[in-house]
Structure 1
Amino acid sequence: MKPTIPLWTSLALLSSFGFAQMAAAHPDIAEFAETAFAEQPETVDCTLEDGTASTCYKITVNYLPDGLEIGPFCPATLSDKGGIWDWTGEKAKLYRVDDAFLMMLDEQGYRFFDEDGTVHVVDNATERPTVDHACINVSVDEEVEITMLLPVTPVVAENPTPLGVVSKIGVALDGVPIFSDAPSVQQTGHMPALDTCGGHIDPGGWYHWHATSTDIETVFAEQGVIADCAVEQDSAALFGYAFDGFALFGSTEADGTPATDLDACNGHVGLTAEGETYHYHATAEFPNLPACLVGVQAKDNFSTTATAGVGATRAGVGGRNEPPRPGAGTPGQIPAGFDTAAEVLGVSTDTLMEALGDPQAGRPDLAAAAEKLGISEEALKAALPAPPQGN
């Protein structure tokens, strides 16, 4: 579903909202499933990324909601069917991970299987791939908890936040975190396969979505993928809330008609159960998620008790492996001085790193990064640490 109105038009509509309308757009904790939380949510003081003092819902969830069926991810052999994958190379589209797909990748120089048909499957929690191309199937860590912050009252940003690879988007009503597209095979050489609902296990051991799972079968129909998701499908349903506090819906309105007049973030001001509010809609393409967020997120809005992966807070010594992530630098580390730079700029370290890409892979495009952050290039240069001698 392509946007039909400019983003600035949508932002103008948002800026014309009164306080009552903005307050009506707040996340509704009552909409979450009873099994979503590891402990009762609470309202806490928080600071938004633009420096605004605010209040947030503090939500803590388990590594996986009770009763959620996940998998399959990687097929064991060419005779098995795995999950799904959004291939971005030649013949790009969404595929079921099966023999036909893996043979097609082999023709393009990406061999994921042995001569006997055994698929290269690696658990990144315990081992590193020893082959050029492996299907990543990470094991869970049942002890992990994830804590997230959602602004009680959304605040519209001066500029939308673009969502790149593995950007934080929000949380689903079942408590599962939502992220943007996974790293491509071309980026990493490997394939962290998604299950047929569009989710998989993070290196930290917890499950997360890379799709609007409650409307993923709309994508299957559009892309010609034969697969079933165990999650109940409803293209008009509320899926969850973005980290800016605005709601995430399926691809249609409540009456089943396609959502129209959408901006570049795939959102609009329209009628919901809360009245006329801004909200996002899923697309009919994969990943069927917003391309950007129009609101301001809370600082430090995502942390886990894991030893690896996004938001890890425990020391990784003796813990899980974590593969390199595009734009993340050394696994589990922020390059020296970048956390201070983020604080000076009033953004989270995650946001800064996503805008810069990987500073250790070469000089970043500061002009592009500054535009993503909504600041001047001069301000970005002044905040960043000096490059090491010889670079």
Structure 2
Amino acid sequence: MASLNHALRALLLGGVLMAPGAAIAHPDLATFVAAAFSKEPVTVDCTLENGVGAKCYEITVNYLPEGLKIGPFCPATLDDAGGIWHWTGENGGLYRVDAEFLKMLDGLGYRFFDDDGTVHVVDNATERPTVDHACINVSADETVKITMRLPVTPVMAETPTVLGVVGKVGVALDGVPIFSDAPSIQQTGHMPALDTCGGHIDPGGWYHWHATSTDIDTVFDQAKVGAHCALEQDSRALFGYAFDGYPMVGSTEMDGTAAAGLDQCNGHVGETALGVTYHYHASEEFPNLPGCLVGVQAQNNFSTTATAGIGATRAGEGGRNEPPRPDDGGPGHVPPGFDEAAASLGVTTDVLMQALGNPQGGRPDLAAAAENLGTTEAKLRAVLPPPPGR
């Protein structure tokens, strides 16, 4: 513990220095909703991503917490209102998925509906879109179990891990997995709409969030979006734990004041319900999640019994499809040369791929990727392999 405290005291992130003697909060299994787990959590031996052996809490949850109401996602027609979407193109911002938003997209060349107002809705787990632009509404698989690992004792990393698109963020207190922002319409052509709590169903059939759902109404108020999450909203409350073991809370401190002195991962050291510790705060903009994690995650910390999607361990067995995605060589595919490029940059291949977004099938923003990786664009260009065919 002494060496960990020393590392924490020595670490400077965004101008925030860990105070000497500050407590280190461990993930507290007692803070989870009792019904969150499909079986009793256990403590197991694990290996962190830095290669160090450690102890981890292993928790297993169902495809959806009991009693959690989800949806709507996609509207059936222009007369209906669906969930929400974070549009990143012209007129970018957070929108309710309704006629006004879909007609705006239509004006930009993204047509999601027929002339009669019927919205193109596709369950891409069981069918492939036959249109250029479809609203994705995936059916659930009630048999799926999800297993996650959290370090018992959080360890600060030498450099933060950039989460990128659909990066693993953590787990909420009710057992719902949390992921960073979903793929953009510009990347896939389709819209995997979120409900008004910021969640949707993975192609594997399990529900997850792309937002701090217990403080998402703060985002709706800031963006002037006519939406409301049915979950109890509390900007001061503990939401869950990031996969590095550090707690995630709403956008304010425990006394309701605005969080101040936050680092680039939207975290700092301060008082929480778990004591004084490093913790992440939700932001007031969507996605209201940390964009990076300061701690070290466990290897193999996320798996599912699903036959498709993130963490699938029985891929291809159950007839479910992977989501529409650019021509990237298939799910989990790493183009030749990217392992070596990541090693030369001193990051993992996952971090490099997340920063680039879609290095093979799309055109990554190398300047933005270099900034996220803490390097220069020139160095990034120098280590990346040439595009196929060149």
In structure 2, the CA distance between the partners of 1:376 and 1:135, relative to structure 1 (3 Å rule), is closer
Q: CA deviation at 1:365?
A: 9.0
In structure 2, the CA distance between the partners of 1:191 and 1:246, relative to structure 1 (3 Å rule), is same
CA distance, structure 1, for counterparts of residue 327 and residue 47 of structure 2: 25
The one-character-per-residue Cα deviations of 1:244-286 (angstroms, maximum 9, x if unpaired) are 1110000111111111111111111111123221101111100
Query: Does structure 1 retain, via aligned residues, the 8 Å contact 2:328–2:360?
Result: no
Question: Are 1:7 and 2:13 counterparts?
Answer: yes
Q: CA deviation at 1:62?
A: 0.7
CA distance, structure 1, for counterparts of residue 148 and residue 347 of structure 2: 16
Quote the residue 1:212 is aligned against. Answer: 212
Q: CA deviation at 1:227?
A: 1.4
Quote the residue 2:178 is aligned against. Answer: 178
In structure 2, the CA distance between the partners of 1:376 and 1:82, relative to structure 1 (3 Å rule), is closer
Quote the residue 1:320 is aligned against. Answer: 320
Letter in 2 for 1:63: Y
Give the CA RMSD over aligned residues.
3.1
CA distance, structure 1, for counterparts of residue 335 and residue 171 of structure 2: 28
Q: CA deviation at 1:104?
A: 1.1
CA distance, structure 2, for counterparts of residue 375 and residue 154 of structure 1: 26
Letter in 2 for 1:293: L
Question: Are 1:257 and 2:257 counterparts?
Answer: yes
Q: CA deviation at 1:317?
A: 3.8
Letter in 1 for 2:153: T
Q: CA deviation at 1:300?
A: 1.1
Letter in 1 for 2:245: G
Quote the residue 2:5 is aligned against. Answer: none
Give structure 1 stretches of 5+ with no counterpart.
Answer: 1-5
CA distance, structure 2, for counterparts of residue 308 and residue 154 of structure 1: 30
CA distance, structure 1, for counterparts of residue 386 and residue 305 of structure 2: 32
Letter in 2 for 1:21: A
CA distance, structure 2, for counterparts of residue 319 and residue 94 of structure 1: 34
> Please, what TM-score do these two structures have when normalized by structure 1?
0.87
CA distance, structure 2, for counterparts of residue 93 and residue 168 of structure 1: 23
Question: Are 1:267 and 2:274 counterparts?
Answer: no
Query: Does structure 1 retain, via aligned residues, the 8 Å contact 2:162–2:354?
Result: no
Map of 1:16-27 to 2, 5 A cutoff? 17-18=20-21, 21-22=23-24, 25-27=25-27
**Further displaced range: 147-156 or 326-335:** 326-335
Q: CA deviation at 1:8?
A: 3.9
Query: Does structure 2 retain, via aligned residues, the 8 Å contact 1:269–1:277?
Result: yes
Query: Does structure 2 retain, via aligned residues, the 8 Å contact 1:327–1:357?
Result: no
In structure 2, the CA distance between the partners of 1:110 and 1:371, relative to structure 1 (3 Å rule), is closer
The one-character-per-residue Cα deviations of 1:23-63 (angstroms, maximum 9, x if unpaired) are xx111100000111111111111111111111111011110
Secondary structure of the 2:186 match is: helix
Letter in 1 for 2:302: F
Question: Are 1:75 and 2:81 counterparts?
Answer: no
Query: Does structure 2 retain, via aligned residues, the 8 Å contact 1:140–1:201?
Result: yes
The one-character-per-residue Cα deviations of 1:289-346 (angstroms, maximum 9, x if unpaired) are 1111111111111111111111111131442111244696412545578789989999
Quote the residue 2:165 is aligned against. Answer: 165
Quote the residue 1:283 is aligned against. Answer: 283
In structure 2, the CA distance between the partners of 1:366 and 1:83, relative to structure 1 (3 Å rule), is closer
Letter in 2 for 1:220: F
Query: Does structure 2 retain, via aligned residues, the 8 Å contact 1:50–1:347?
Result: no
CA distance, structure 2, for counterparts of residue 328 and residue 248 of structure 1: 32
Query: Does structure 2 retain, via aligned residues, the 8 Å contact 1:86–1:93?
Result: yes
The one-character-per-residue Cα deviations of 1:158-189 (angstroms, maximum 9, x if unpaired) are 11111211011000001000001111111111
Map of 1:273-312 to 2, 5 A cutoff? 273-312=273-312
The one-character-per-residue Cα deviations of 1:102-139 (angstroms, maximum 9, x if unpaired) are 11111111111000000000001111111111100000
In structure 2, the CA distance between the partners of 1:222 and 1:369, relative to structure 1 (3 Å rule), is closer
Secondary structure of the 1:21 match is: coil
In structure 2, the CA distance between the partners of 1:286 and 1:388, relative to structure 1 (3 Å rule), is closer
Query: Does structure 2 retain, via aligned residues, the 8 Å contact 1:328–1:353?
Result: no
Query: Does structure 2 retain, via aligned residues, the 8 Å contact 1:283–1:289?
Result: yes
Give structure 2 stretches of 5+ with no counterpart.
Answer: 1-11
CA distance, structure 2, for counterparts of residue 50 and residue 249 of structure 1: 26
CA distance, structure 1, for counterparts of residue 267 and residue 84 of structure 2: 26
Q: What percentage of residue pairs aligned between the two structures are identical?
A: 74
Query: Does structure 2 retain, via aligned residues, the 8 Å contact 1:50–1:346?
Result: no
Q: CA deviation at 1:358?
A: 3.7
